[in-house]
Structure 1
Amino acid sequence: MTDSADVRDALASISNDYEVRRRLHAVPPHAVYEVSVEGTRAVCKVARGARADPSTEARVMSFVGRETVVPVPRILAVGGDWFVAEWRAGLPDDDLPLDAERARTLGAGLATLHDETAGAFEKTGFPRAEGGRLVVDARDAWTETVSDLLEDLRDYLADFGYADVAEEARALLEERPDLLAGSDDPVLAHGNYLPSHVAVRDGEVTCVIDWEHALVAPAEYDYWRTAMPLLGDSGDPDESGEFAAFREGYTSVRPLPTDSDRRSECFRLVNAVSYLKSLHLQRQRTGQAKARFAAHIRESVYETVRQFRAETER
């Protein structure tokens, strides 16, 4: 659906006094519109694909707003495949440059989310909406959650010829569950805590949006999902001032778990596979650029798996 009929249907279910003003974003499998409901400026996020779940995202946001100091838009209404949230000014542009100061603020903000949700969940798993509230489809161990996550990625990537990449990573972690041993206790992971999703003013986080990738997971998972884009082309933490600032900001709020660096390559491996899904689902790269990036991810995943297996053989 390319027009706003689904948005109008959503708004009409809560009020006769509404207006669809403009489309803000349309990145599969969602679209986001600026709207007005009874004179109140708001945003409406609707599903535009089978893998979209705005209802769960809304419940996650409500949980964060209720249980933590992390600033999120207030949810005004929720439907099965849409939600309406209050308008929040000051959100950054996608192309906003990231400097060390902003990276430090992002680190502290992410650590605050993790610190304030530590102890809220007994096990890792997948958030979902049930009966108007947030529940977790939990697994007995983090390794099981990761395996199911990679299995889902494999099933999606099969249509694009990259199922082998997810399966290679999943097989490795089944062979070597020790690679994730010692991960910290579950927290609420944002899952996509990128600069374009975090508003910052005067060194403080003022709003966090786009919670569609939320997962109940060890904090390290979320830490590396955020940190990987800060590493630059080399992928070397020692060569990125922005990464150093991000780490400094994070550890100013809460420490990283013991042996976090040992597990970092494994977390980066899992996240690399998820980037393949985003590449095909969100369609933000096309043609040769898309093919080159996908080939780079495949090569990186296979090389990391080879290195881990070589360790086992020594």
Structure 2
Amino acid sequence: MPLGDEEVGMEVAEREQDVLRAASMYYLQDLKMEVIARHLGTSRSTVSRLIKRARETGLVEITLRPASTRAPGLGRTVAAAYGLDAYVVPVPDSAGQVERLDQVAMTAARLLSSWFDSDMVLGVAWGTTLATVSRFLAPKPTRGSAVVQLNGAANMRTSGIEYASDLISSFGTAFGAAVHHFSVPAFFDFPETKAAMWRERSVLRVLDMQRRADIALFSVGAVAGAVPSHVYAAGYLDDEDVATLHAEGVVGDVCTVFLRADGSWRDVGLNARATGPTPEELVRVPRRVCVVAGDNKIAPLLAALRAGVVTDLVIDELTATRLLEHAGGGPARRGRGRRAG
């Protein structure tokens, strides 16, 4: 006879308790698997599966702290310089761009899981870095939570819907959260079109959800580099747009809103057609998490820091070192401030 809902729930709860007990005995009491198996009245192979599940679900997190790493000191220096919380990820000096990105994305995914919980709203900007973060998300079921897309994705070549939808949905799946897609272009052809669309009820509903975000997760877009940012590599801008951005001194973007090196953005022409939140809108989100890896990200990251849009920075050791080396040109605005632009 099939089990009722209450019986199934009790069975699941008991199994999760076994996971907790096995992990506690293995990691905290340093007991061998054979001993744990006897305590639980099960087999060694079952204990191995329970411990594996503890790692996969995030119940157990393993952190390596090499004695030679510069990461802790770098983190304190970056945090003090920019008034934010810095999480510097140790990587070997020989690490390539892909390895650096993977390590940073893995750390960002774990941090996000520790911060995001039931009845919260997470705003996510699409891009190469965030797509990598999504691959490392461990399942963490929540209740009453939501994930909302922060910027439109359609461009001249494609609707962008499949790319952005898959990325945003992966965050929703990981947290068991409702997903709110933003089905508008990354950039409108005319500011007037954007103004008209911003009066549509379907768009207003998503904009309202964005304003309710407790956490915003984004990276910075770089105009060039070994791993080009998606907005510059996938047909979102034509040659005339790129030339205009260079002429206006733009060094990169946050949520497809373009920034100059000093963090200014208001009078950049293309921003009137952009669909992502401006720095002024972004700073209303209590926790703003920027994930960065790669030397080509330093200029746009400095711009984002000077615009005051970052409260939590997840960055690899090599990029953090370069950031401090290139940080001349005046103090940055404090990441937890309300002013931008």
TM-score for the superposition, normalised by structure 2 = 0.25
Tell me which protein shows more strand as a share of its residues. 1
Q: Point out the structure with max Rg over C-alpha.
A: 2
